[in-house]
Amino acid sequence: HTTAPIKKNIGNLTKILGILALIVSASVFVVGTLRGVSPANTFLFAVASAISSIPEGLPIVVTVTLAIAIGKMAKRNAIIRKLPAVETLGTVSAIVSDKTGTLTTNQMTVREIFTESHSITISGSGFKPTGKFIDTYGGDEIKPLDFPELKRLLEVMALCNDAQLRDHVDESGEFWQVHGDPTEGALVVAAMKGNLEKQDYEISHPRVDEIGFDSAHKYMVTFHGIERNAGVLACMKGAPEKVLSMCSATQAGADTRPLTKEKIAEIEEQASNMAKQAYRVLAFAFLETKEMNHDQLKAVIPTGKKLVFLGLAGIIDPPRPEAKQAIVFCKNAGIRIFMATGDHKLTALAIGEELGLSAMDHSKHGIEGVELDDMNDEDLERALQSVGVFARVTPEHKHRIVKALQKMGYIVAVTGDGINDAPAIKASNVGVAMGIAGTDVTKEAADMVLVDDNFASIVNAVEEGRIVYENIKKVVKFLISTNIAEDFIIILAFLLFPLLLEIQDPNEILIFTAIQILWVNLVTDGVLDITLAMEPKEMDVMRNKPRDPDAKIIDREILKNTIYVSICMGIGVLTVYVVYHGMNGEVAIMKAKTMAFVLLSMFQVFNALNCRSRTHSVFKLGFFTNRWLIGSITFSVILQFLTTVLPPLQAMLSTVPLTPLDWVVILLVSSTVWIIEEIRKLVQKRK
């Protein structure tokens, strides 16, 4: 994975601020020496000036903000395994998602069966094994075990299967749960609805070998001993086109008939019609023989047309209701969604249209894996500009799609659950593993694990990633405004005070002490910045396009705004200092410095309200929507008051008591920075 954008941004910002710190501290040391300030004070102030140029709390705030976001994401069913992924999620501009279980409910149900002699609709839903077999044309209920081809079909469904269906009882009552693949579980449920128990047939037909399912060959075969005649039964399920290519006959009642080209065309048309209805279509076949043992049969099946075709099963996996809404959010947020599934192209397109993917890409076309194989990289990039549905794809195809999108400039999040998905997950900017269906290898390679395998959880995580980055920008702006204001005040004080004021002691141009600068940076800002990072999301966070990951954290607009706010703060502090310095006596100088110190801290209190949003007024946001910030503001004001009345703090910070009138002056002057910003936001909104 590439370096997280926030890490690069903070690194670049730190370099700039480091250079600024050296320039400011060197200038302070040189000017202080020329002005006759004592070497000790000049050195301490130069060091303090360097510190004032650097937002010391920023690394802590970034880490805490990311940690808070991890907690929020966990509550929204997204477990972050790698901290930088939190912020990277906010830059995601494309999501390559599986279909089954992520965009759909993964509550598979066999709804239709098609054989040589029957077209059947099965009632019921979910994994509860109760339902009826209804003849599609006559509307009558039938008993499938009374018909040889239907009985054989249910046998193959149950035997060529690794799933188990178990009932459980809890406070809410009885419920059924599939242990294994949900698609296979749906086949077990269909067999049980027809009064065929998987466990009974596994006893009379023990499995002796198998050809496991693989996304490349798209079928599975199991081999079983037959107790009654010592023969071998081969049971196959898989993609219709693959199963048909390995069959030479079809079951019709108790007999078999040759599988003609016309019959193949009829079956393919039926499979296509089922797929158009968003069914996942599986085909089934078998071969029973006493002439070969299972090893010989295993070697022969993949090489020729030996099997007897039984029929098709249409399995419905309805889209998640929340996934459709999440896709709308993605469209508004400028994030493109790509569905990559192993299902039939028509099934994928039907689900994609129901979810709104075709409307998102203005295309009702999809691409199959075999078409991808014939495309060069340029062709694929052109296709990705308009196509959002990919069917019959392998993990290798998914990896290629991810790399092509990245080459086109997208920041890609990709989902996966199988071991073979690990390369695509590692190649992506944000790898997302399934918490329920995912393998340990996939989870280890991923940046994020979905507890509920739900697409909406990815979108929620992207939203949190955007919120994190926006809040970090708010904190950076808040902290930088303090640093610029301090530098502005220090430099102008050194340059102008000897001209404007009657300086009795060169040390009078040191408007702040080193301890006061550290207090503002570490205590006042430190209390406020953490709670500012907890700012709730703004209404338009998912209505903007993904940001450029290479964009600077302080853009030109923020920099201009920060500089003018800092200048306002600086002018306010310097004006108050000059006015109070004009009073007679040494006490006036101490009071002027106290006023400047307290005023700078109070400026930051009001500036924290400004930084809650770049565009929205605090009145629109609501004063109490961030209660943590209001609490920290209250604490900061009380703490600042205590610095002027508690003797230990007075001694440490060189402050003197202030009168109620002084506090009125401080509140009136410091609030100007908030009033000016509110006016700016109002004017900008009207424009």
pLDDT band at 294 (very low <50, low <70, confident <90, very high): confident
DSSP 25-40: HHHHHHHHHHTT--HH
**Which domain CATH number covers 32?**
1.20.1110.10
Q: Are residues 228 and 290 located together in one domain of the fold?
A: yes
pLDDT band at 268 (very low <50, low <70, confident <90, very high): very high
Tokens 């972050």 identify what position? 80
Judge whether 247 and 305 are in contact, CB under 8 Å: yes
Judge whether 47 and 22 are in contact, CB under 8 Å: no
Own/partner contacts of 362-371, CB < 8 Å, gap of 24 or more, are 362/386, 363/387, 363/388, 365/389, 366/390, 366/391, 367/391, 368/392, 368/393, 369/393, 369/394, 369/397
pLDDT band at 586 (very low <50, low <70, confident <90, very high): low
Lowest average pLDDT, out of 202-211, 242-251, 435-444, 563-572, goes to: 435-444
β-pairing verdict for 247-252 and 255-258: antiparallel
Q: Is residue 324 part of a domain?
A: no
Q: How many CA atoms lie within 13 A of 446 on its CB side?
A: 28
Lowest average pLDDT, out of 17-26, 125-134, 255-264, 406-415, goes to: 17-26
Q: How far apart are CA 567 and CA 588, in angstroms?
A: 25
Could you tell me the two tokens for 594?
């106290």
Q: How does pLDDT run across 91-114, given as a tens digit for each residue?
A: 999 999 998 888 988 888 999 999
Q: How does pLDDT run across 280-292, given as a tens digit for each residue?
A: 999 999 999 988 8
Q: How far apart are CA 343 and CA 391, in angstroms?
A: 6
For residue 220, the model assigns a pLDDT of: 95
Q: How does pLDDT run across 648-661, given as a tens digit for each residue?
A: 999 999 999 999 99
Judge whether 467 and 1 are in contact, CB under 8 Å: no
Q: Is residue 598 part of a domain?
A: yes
Judge whether 653 and 513 are in contact, CB under 8 Å: yes
Q: Are residues 158 and 193 located together in one domain of the fold?
A: yes
Q: How far apart are CA 256 and CA 20, in angstroms?
A: 87
Tokens 């099934």 identify what position? 347
Q: How far apart are CA 197 and CA 179, in angstroms?
A: 16
pLDDT exceeds cutoff 90 at 571: yes
Q: Is residue 347 part of a domain?
A: no
**E runs forming strands in 540-635:** none
Q: What is the 3-state secondary structure (H, E, C) of 353-421?
A: HHHCHHHHHCCCCEEEHHHHHCCCHHHHHHHHCCCCEEECCCHHHHHHHHHHHHHCCCCEEEEECCHHH
Q: Are residues 126 and 84 located together in one domain of the fold?
A: no
Q: Is residue 624 part of a domain?
A: yes
Q: Which of 400, 435, 403, 429 is nearest to 416 (CA)?
A: 435
Q: Is residue 606 part of a domain?
A: yes
pLDDT band at 122 (very low <50, low <70, confident <90, very high): very high
Q: Is residue 591 part of a domain?
A: yes
For residue 300, the model assigns a pLDDT of: 87
Q: Is residue 75 part of a domain?
A: yes
Question: For residue 407, how many other CB atoms are within 10 A of its CB?
Answer: 12
For residue 484, the model assigns a pLDDT of: 86
Q: For the chain, how far is it from start to end, CA to CA, in angstroms?
A: 41
Average pLDDT over residues 129-156: 93
3-class DSSP state of 337? strand
Beta carbons within 8 Å of 363's beta carbon, 6+ residues apart: 386, 387, 388
Question: For residue 238, how many other CB atoms are within 10 A of its CB?
Answer: 22
β-pairing verdict for 307-316 and 448-450: unpaired
pLDDT exceeds cutoff 50 at 1: no
In the chain, pLDDT over 90 holds for what percent of residues? 53
Lowest average pLDDT, out of 244-258, 362-376, 593-607, goes to: 362-376
Q: How far apart are CA 434 and CA 366, in angstroms?
A: 25
Beta carbons within 8 Å of 536's beta carbon, 6+ residues apart: 625, 626
Q: How does pLDDT run across 497-546, given as a tens digit for each residue?
A: 777 766 666 566 778 887 888 898 888 888 899 999 999 988 888 989 99
Apex CA 503: angle with CA 502 and CA 504, to 5°?
115
Lowest average pLDDT, out of 250-264, 346-360, 605-619, goes to: 346-360
Structure-derived torsion over alpha carbons of residues 452, 458, 464, 467, reported in degrees to the nearest 10: -160
Judge whether 340 and 97 are in contact, CB under 8 Å: yes
Which residue, 273, 290, 316, sits at the end of a domain? 316
Beta carbons within 8 Å of 85's beta carbon, 6+ residues apart: 1, 4, 430, 447, 448
Average pLDDT over residues 81-88: 87
Could you tell me the two tokens for 603?
């400026």
pLDDT band at 54 (very low <50, low <70, confident <90, very high): confident
For residue 359, the model assigns a pLDDT of: 63
Q: Which residues are known to be catalytic?
A: 98
Judge whether 474 and 612 are in contact, CB under 8 Å: yes
Q: What is the 3-state secondary structure (H, E, C) of 145-188?
A: HHCHHHHHHHHHHHHCCCCEEEEEEECCEEEEEEECCHHHHHHH
Q: Are residues 38 and 132 located together in one domain of the fold?
A: no
Which residue, 255, 281, 316, sits at the end of a domain? 316
Q: Is residue 297 part of a domain?
A: yes
Alpha carbon 463 to chain centroid, angstroms: 7
Q: Are residues 60 and 120 located together in one domain of the fold?
A: no
Phi–psi pair at 143, nearest 5 degrees: -105, 105
Which residue, 316, 342, 357, sits at the end of a domain? 316
Q: Are residues 42 and 189 located together in one domain of the fold?
A: no
Higher pLDDT, 157 or 503: 157
Overall pTM > 0.85: no
Judge whether 419 and 435 are in contact, CB under 8 Å: no
For residue 556, the model assigns a pLDDT of: 84
Q: Which of 625, 632, 683 is nearest to 524 (CA)?
A: 632
Q: Are residues 168 and 298 located together in one domain of the fold?
A: yes
For residue 22, the model assigns a pLDDT of: 85
For residue 584, the model assigns a pLDDT of: 60
Q: Are residues 510 and 604 located together in one domain of the fold?
A: yes
Average pLDDT over residues 625-639: 95
Q: Are residues 523 and 647 located together in one domain of the fold?
A: yes
Name the amino acid, one letter, at 131: G
Q: Are residues 124 and 54 located together in one domain of the fold?
A: no
Q: How far apart are CA 214 and CA 219, in angstroms?
A: 7
Residue 8 DSSP class: H
For residue 11, the model assigns a pLDDT of: 76
CA separation (Å) from 332 to 326, 357, 413, 536, 615?
A: 10, 13, 17, 20, 19
- Helices within 55-207 (DSSP H only): 58-75, 84-88, 148-159, 182-193, 198-204
Judge whether 500 and 592 are in contact, CB under 8 Å: no
- The structural domain count of the chain equals 2
Instruction: Give the mean pLDDT of the chain.
Output: 88
pLDDT exceeds cutoff 80 at 228: no
In the chain, pLDDT over 70 holds for what percent of residues? 95
Q: How far apart are CA 190 and CA 194, in angstroms?
A: 7
Q: How far apart are CA 258 and CA 669, in angstroms?
A: 95
Average pLDDT over residues 583-596: 81
Q: How many CA atoms lie within 13 A of 283 on its CB side?
A: 27
Lowest average pLDDT, out of 72-86, 186-200, 467-481, 550-564, goes to: 550-564
Average pLDDT over residues 409-421: 90
Q: Are residues 224 and 86 located together in one domain of the fold?
A: no
Average pLDDT over residues 346-357: 88
Average pLDDT over residues 31-50: 75
Could you tell me the two tokens for 177?
């749960």
Tokens 């739900």 identify what position? 454
Q: Which domain holds residue 672?
A: 5-91+460-686
Higher pLDDT, 289 or 216: 289
For residue 2, the model assigns a pLDDT of: 47
**Which domain CATH number covers 300?**
3.40.1110.10
pLDDT band at 221 (very low <50, low <70, confident <90, very high): very high
Q: Are residues 678 and 584 located together in one domain of the fold?
A: yes
